Structure 1
Amino acid sequence: MTKRFSFSLNATDGKARTGVISTPRGDIRTPAFMPVGTAATVKAMMPESVAATGADILLGNTYHLMLRPTAERIDRLGGLHKFMNWDKPILTDSGGFQVMSLADLRKLTEKGVTFKSHIDGSKHELTPERSMEIQRLLGSDIVMCFDECPALPADRTRINESMQLSMRWAARSREAFGDRPGHALFGIQQGGLEEDLRAESAQALRDIEFDGYAVGGLAVGEGQEAMFSVLDFAPDQLPTDKPRYLMGVGKPDDIVGAVKRGIDMMDCVLPSRSGRTGQVFTRRGVLNIKNARHMDDPRPLDEQCTCPACSNYSRAYLHHVFRAQEMISGMLLTWHNLHYFQEIMQGMRDAIAVGAFGAWEADFHAQRALGDIAPL
């Protein structure tokens, strides 16, 4: 008998929640941050290093993997977990967002989307049914239903039409997903910044019934204030006994603000992308390692951090290898950023468990407001 997918809430503090998502491949402690492994790799990181930062789950990308190396090839080679040497849970997105943002010459119909690959111009079709098939071939533990995500700002009519289409696609995704014990399917709420459209979307998803629910269509250019104003009501429109996932978020203060408003899961390319461009997240805010002030600095990025970059290397060294375009630069800075993001998640889980989230949050913002340590 395959272990079922389940979610249990352990504690709440205000709207903030901590709990555990149980899957056959292991438990996911919530609130959870999922590093993004777009093309079956978290860039510049070994899978065991990602696990060492505290990650319980990774995100894989349907659009990128269907184009290269193809879902069929990954399936023949034993599935995505084996292919990329990651034995913990994997969530795959549906490909919808990337089709909208990356693909050339896309055509949207009721059936789905046809598009040309941004890699070689080859023509592809993505429908709810095909998205479910690809994600089944990949073997991911959490599957996202196929949706359309309009870029904001957009007018209300466009947002409503898009949301209605996404809800019809959600029903088709559910149908095509079928019964897969041990695997979960998440629905995606749409509706832009409109509370009534979000409520309508949430009700449509509840009627279909999913294993978890995502708040989609945010972090697409609307700004933090608008995003938080939606998060003030959107999670409350979703079932309390299922995980709530905010897609594509974000910066440390976005993550803390989302958890405060009832979100359980997030993902973002930011820690790894920033690591490769010399942007470093610390408890005292963001620093740029390419700045000359670090050139002669023997101190670590963050004295309290236990990651390899902070334990073993100076700012001066990290500045040098970044300037010299050495590969180790992206490796160490990405490791540090991912470690710090997971440290935030652990801090929030611990604080919620003892009813101290407010104090933890105040301390988080106070430390960040200090800014980086003074130059030598």
Structure 2
Amino acid sequence: MTQRFEFELHGTDDRARTGTIKTPRGDIRTPAFMPVGTAATVKAMMPESVRATGADILLGNTYHLMLRPTAERIAKLGGLHKFMNWERPILTDSGGFQVMSLADLRKLTEEGVTFRSHIDGSKHMLSPERSMEIQRLLGSDIVMCFDECPALPADRARIKESMELSMRWAARSREAFGDRPGHALFGIQQGGLEQDFREESAEALRAIGFEGYAVGGLAVGEGQEAMFGCLDYAPEQLPVDRPRYLMGVGKPDDIVGAVERGIDMFDCVLPSRSGRTGQAFTRRGVVNIKNARHQEDPRPLDEACSCPCCSNYSRAYLHHVFKAQEMISGMLLTWHNLHYYQELMAGLHGAIAAGDLAAFVRGFHATRADGDIEPV
């Protein structure tokens, strides 16, 4: 097994790519979907079950873990991998997005962000240096730069100011990260929906130099059409020989469209969050298990799915346990959703390798357009 962080590009189909990210803790097949383990757990799942769905890597949240149980405590207990019983790669975000969206009474300066915890009101400071320190204490394999992500829409002056601050913070993040063989630091491209700002950001990041690059500042309310418009040029502005990560995306059709445009890595809370609220992602679109039409349906969610939920339980049972507010409801639907996402990534991977992505994408959209199976 490699002792370094490396990226091998195996094949392309138009702009779509397939490859392998090699890390000391194991390989990550790309395109890759990273389940979100916010507080050192993928909600409603055991780590071995997450692995069984096909996940090669998980995401952890710096903001949540620094507040509870604290990065220092996790380090004392042997690091995040040991703490949560996941020995494969982990990517941690920088905490910047959560500070902007969750924290109370935050104050932004050149130094960083001071804020009050949404949990107990305690006061904290996050800067590029502190974010790097927290992620080092956690022991994550892929570390994200500390950045600022303004909500869209915003005016050009605000977007430019924010992007330039993020680039200064990127340089400080690189400096504070230091020399950590086997670990990677990813830069984050910002610039909203402005192509010239995106290019300026990409230039700044390339000059600093990173092991991977993220397209940040999307999936923040701009809509799919605007996001795809940005992805028509943003990935191409980043180095071709490094992984490209689209942060916080997304729905299955978002992911398919982003893979077509050259993205390699994704994360999103949707599969687990939707599972806990009674929604299942299937080849034929989203199934809402709360609906009364399922209460006497002996069929599985998806007859073509091999996950434990579809192999062993009926729609009628899933409807019942959701209505009864039984824990198994969220467990089964989350397992199914994560399985579906990983199966989708494997399908994309295979189609790109075979040079047949266009046909795969046509089939994906056509099956979803058919809608759910007819009620019994």
| 8 Å CA contact 2:2, 2:22 repeated in 1 | no
Runs of 5+ consecutive residues of structure 2 not aligned to the other structure: none
Deviations 1:142-165 (A, max 9, x none): 000000000000000000000000
Query: 1:78 maps to which residue?
Result: 78
Aligned partners of 1:19 and 1:29 also within 8 Å: yes
Count of residue correspondences: 376
Post-superposition CA distance 1:193-242 (Å, at most 9, x none): 00000000000000000000000000000000000000000000000000
Q: Partner letter of residue 291 of structure 1?
A: N
Between the aligned partners of 2:8 and 2:367, the Cα distance in structure 1 is 32
**Match of 1:283, as an amino acid?**
R
What per-residue deviation string (whole Å, max 9, x for no partner) do you get for residues 58-94 of structure 1? 0000000000000000000000000000010000000
Match of 1:143 in 2: 143
Alignment of 1:55-74 (within 5 A): 55-74=55-74
TM-superposed deviation, 1:166: 0.0
Distance 1:313 1:243 in 2: 38
Aligned alpha-carbon RMSD (Å): 0.7
**Which residue number corresponds to residue 318 of structure 1?**
318
1:219 aligns with: 219
Where 1:7 maps in the other structure, the secondary structure is strand
**Counterparts of 1:277 and 1:247, CA distance in 2:** 23
User: How far apart, CA to CA, are the structure 1 residues paired with 2:150 and 2:7?
Assistant: 30
- Are 2:233 and 1:236 aligned? no
Matches within 5 A, 1:167-246: 167-246=167-246
Aligned partner of 2:130: which letter? R
Matches within 5 A, 1:193-342: 193-342=193-342
2:171 equivalent to 1:162: no
Say which SS state the counterpart of residue 239 (structure 2) adopts.
coil
Amino acid at match of 2:101: S
Deviation of 1:4 (Å): 0.7
Write the distance in 2 (CA, Å) between the matches of 1:2 and 1:264: 20
**Any unmatched runs of 5+ in structure 1?**
none
Structure 1's consecutive aligned runs of 4 or more residues displaced over 3 angstroms after TM superposition are none
Mapped pair 1:30 → 2:52: no
Partners of 2:193 and 2:124 lie apart in 1 by 31
Shift of 1:280: 0.6
What is the match of residue 354 of structure 1? 354
What is the letter of the counterpart of residue 277 of structure 1? T
Structure 2 counterpart SS, 1:343: helix
- Counterpart-to-counterpart distance in 1, 2:66 and 2:255: 29
- Give the CA deviation at 1:27: 0.1
SS in structure 1 of the partner of residue 185 of structure 2: strand
Q: Deviations over 1:24-78 (max 9, x none)?
A: 0000000000000000000000000000000000000000000000000000000
**Percent of aligned pairs sharing the same letter:** 84
Q: Partners of 2:355 and 2:291 in 1: how far apart?
A: 40
Q: Which amino acid aligns with 2:26?
A: G
Structure 2: which amino acid aligns with 1:56? D
- The amino acid that maps onto 2:296 is D
Aligned partners of 2:270 and 2:230: how far apart in 1?
22
**2: distance between equivalents of 1:347 and 1:215?**
23
3-state secondary structure, aligned to 2:22: strand
What is the match of residue 46 of structure 1?
46
In the other structure, the counterpart of 1:89 is 89
Give the whole-Å Cα distance in 2 for the aligned partners of 1:231 and 1:122. 39
1:170 is displaced (CA, Å) by 0.1
- Displacement after TM superposition at 1:287 (Å): 0.9
Task: Map 1:114-125 to 2 at 5 A.
Answer: 114-125=114-125
2:152 match: 152
User: Given the two structures, how large is their TM-score scaled by the length of structure 2?
Assistant: 1.00
1:2 positional shift: 7.2
**What is the TM-score with the length of structure 1 in the denominator?**
1.00
> Is the contact between residue 74 and residue 138 of structure 2 (CA under 8 Å) also seen in structure 1?
yes
Give the whole-Å Cα distance in 1 for the aligned partners of 2:67 and 2:142.
20
Distance in 2 separating the partners of 1:268 and 1:2: 28
Do the aligned residues in 1 keep the contact of 2:62 with 2:135 (CA within 8 Å)?
Answer: yes
- Counterpart of 1:9 in structure 2 is 9
- What is the correspondence of 1:94-109 to structure 2 with a 5 Å cutoff? 94-109=94-109
- Partners of 1:132 and 1:177 within 8 A in 2: yes
Contact 1:2 1:181 (C-alpha < 8 Å) held by counterparts: no
| Secondary structure, aligned partner of 2:338 | helix
